[in-house]
Structure 1
Amino acid sequence: MARTPSIGLRRARPDDHLSVVEHLDELRRRLIVSALALVVAFAGMYAVHDALIDALTWPLPSDTDQLITLSPTEPFFTTLKVTFWAAVLIALPIWLYQAYAFVIPAVAEQPRRVVIAVVSGLSGLFVAGVAFGYFVVLPVALNFLTGFGGDTFNTQLRAGEYFGFATTMLLASGLLFEVPVAMTALSRMGVTSAKMYRTHWRIALVGIAAIAAVLPGGDPISMVLLMLPQFVLYGVGIALSARFGQAPLWSRDEEPDPV
């Protein structure tokens, strides 16, 4: 049985017949690449952390007072947390590609054009999701939440809690926009199919609503804003699965007799 002595950073092919040790070695290299991507992104974001903090405070209502801190160390650690989560947002497309390049080729050989399309799709959809969360969802959610109750409450926002809320919302929004790619990947692996997605669309809609409900914010307006594009993206995922998917694994052999 032929073996590949070293696969470097290229994608493993189904016919490489890698041993367990070689698979672990490939995984180690991909984890190193992912870690380096995070380190580089963190350094870049820290270099512009003042502009980054200003950008994250833009969605706040204009009548909101300056963010407060309650300890001498909070400004420093809050800045580090903001920088870290911004680095995660930047590095996540690379992480997703590394996961794709490690898992999917083990199931089926991927032409170079397919890999390029997947990488472009992952990055483009993630950026679109973050932009949608930043320009649409976050301002609406903040206006609703900080203005709720009118003059009953004297709303003051703590810096650490606000930035945690904002970065989590943006990260979740970016991940939600990856739904079509995840659907296509599962279909490509033979785990699901476009027919299955069409058959169980009601369950998918309930799942989309549940995810939107547990995300930061939780108000009805931001929930609807997050759900609407997901309905469209679910349809896109069905179309891509029909085009690039393959027969489910359970249907390639004779189906078992019903119990």
Structure 2
Amino acid sequence: MTDQASGEESFISHLIELRDRLVKAMIGVALVCLVLLLWPGPAQIYDFLATPMIESLPVGSKMIATGVVAPFFVPFKLTLLLGLIIALPWVFYQIWAFVAPGLYAHEKRLVLPLVISSSLLFVLGVAFCYVFVFKRVFHFISEFAPTSIAVTPDVDNYLDFVMSMCLAFGATFEVPVVVVILVRMGIVSLQKLRSIRPYVVVGAFVVAAIVTPPDIVSQLSLAIPMCLLYELGMLVAPIFVRATRSPEEAA
């Protein structure tokens, strides 16, 4: 009976700890969003995001808002999304702080680098998309459009397109993490990954053709980094496996 009571107390304490960590994560996200709402503000944030599109349009052209509340709601939604992205390290830290006490030393060496590297790679993918891809994509669309069509993108549709592209590039930049996890968990051997390299290259170009607009520059901008990151994952995987071995595996 005593063991059952202690088990229930332990379960309740874990629930309380989980609640506290979730509250702290939500407070962190809310504070970041509040700061962004005050400075630089939703309008300035959206103007920054729209810069690649505006620069590809004819001089003096602007985007349009077809909804009544779109000029307010769309920048506000973008600010909240940006706040969540910026606060992700804090959210991941709260998750890590909750699960770390129950992990062995070699498991901590496994989880923490993956959390940090996946966060950095996702942000790197989003930054790569904004800096190198958007300008070329929007310039291609503007040049390809017939002269009888006035290119005046809607602010809401533009945000949806940008977010989907950023999500696609952020996800594809996680390729090294996926490779490392597959090798570390013993699901796929390193030799097998090397043998299927030609199929991975073809798959990268297929994914790029589906995700990006139909211009060769955008497709190469996604496919080539995917192939390079796949090679990087195969280089890092053996090092990571050796560094995160349990005492039994080392023996």
TM-score class, shorter-chain normalisation, is 0.7 to 0.9
Aligned with 2:106: secondary structure?
coil
In 2, the alpha carbon distance for the partners of 1:140 and 1:238 equals 30
Structure 2: which amino acid aligns with 1:71? G
Structure 2: which amino acid aligns with 1:136? F
User: Contact (CA 8 Å) 2:212, 2:218: kept in 1 or not?
Assistant: no
Cα 1:24–1:224, aligned 2, differ >3 Å: closer, same or farther? farther
**Range 138-147 or range 21-30, more displaced:** 21-30
1:220 counterpart (211, 216, 222):
216
In 1, the alpha carbon distance for the partners of 2:237 and 2:185 equals 10
User: Contact (CA 8 Å) 1:82, 1:167: kept in 2 or not?
Assistant: no
Aligned with 1:160: secondary structure?
helix
2:51 maps to: 58
In 2, the alpha carbon distance for the partners of 1:59 and 1:235 equals 31
In 1, the alpha carbon distance for the partners of 2:184 and 2:133 equals 32
In 2, the alpha carbon distance for the partners of 1:101 and 1:187 equals 26
Structure 2: which amino acid aligns with 1:51? Q
Is it true that 1:236 corresponds to 2:242 in the alignment?
no
Cα 1:198–1:95, aligned 2, differ >3 Å: closer, same or farther? farther
User: Sequence identity, in percent?
Assistant: 30
Question: What TM-score does the superposition give when structure 1 sets the normalisation length?
Answer: 0.72
Q: 1:201-245, CA deviations, whole angstroms, 9 ceiling, x for partnerless residues?
A: 233223322332232534332111111111111000111112223
Structure 2: which amino acid aligns with 1:44? V
Cα 1:53–1:189, aligned 2, differ >3 Å: closer, same or farther? same
**Range 105-114 or range 79-88, more displaced:** 105-114
In 2, the alpha carbon distance for the partners of 1:116 and 1:143 equals 40
**Range 70-79 or range 29-38, more displaced:** 29-38
Question: What TM-score does the superposition give when structure 2 sets the normalisation length?
Answer: 0.74
Aligned with 1:69: secondary structure?
coil
**Range 116-125 or range 77-86, more displaced:** 116-125
In 1, the alpha carbon distance for the partners of 2:16 and 2:206 equals 38
User: Contact (CA 8 Å) 2:33, 2:80: kept in 1 or not?
Assistant: yes
Q: CA deviation at 1:78?
A: 0.8
1:42 counterpart (33, 52, 55):
33
1:155 maps to: 151
Q: CA deviation at 1:33?
A: 5.5
C-alpha RMSD of the superposition: 3.7
Structure 2: which amino acid aligns with 1:45? L
Cα 1:146–1:89, aligned 2, differ >3 Å: closer, same or farther? farther
User: Contact (CA 8 Å) 1:69, 1:159: kept in 2 or not?
Assistant: yes
Cα 1:162–1:115, aligned 2, differ >3 Å: closer, same or farther? same
Q: CA deviation at 1:133?
A: 0.6
Cα 1:25–1:135, aligned 2, differ >3 Å: closer, same or farther? same
Q: Which runs of 5+ in 2 are unaligned?
A: 243-248
Cα 1:102–1:184, aligned 2, differ >3 Å: closer, same or farther? farther
In 1, the alpha carbon distance for the partners of 2:156 and 2:92 equals 28
1:178 maps to: 174
* Larger Rg belongs to: 2
**Range 232-241 or range 165-174, more displaced:** 165-174
Number of equivalences: 233
Q: Which runs of 5+ in 1 are unaligned?
A: 7-17, 247-251, 253-259
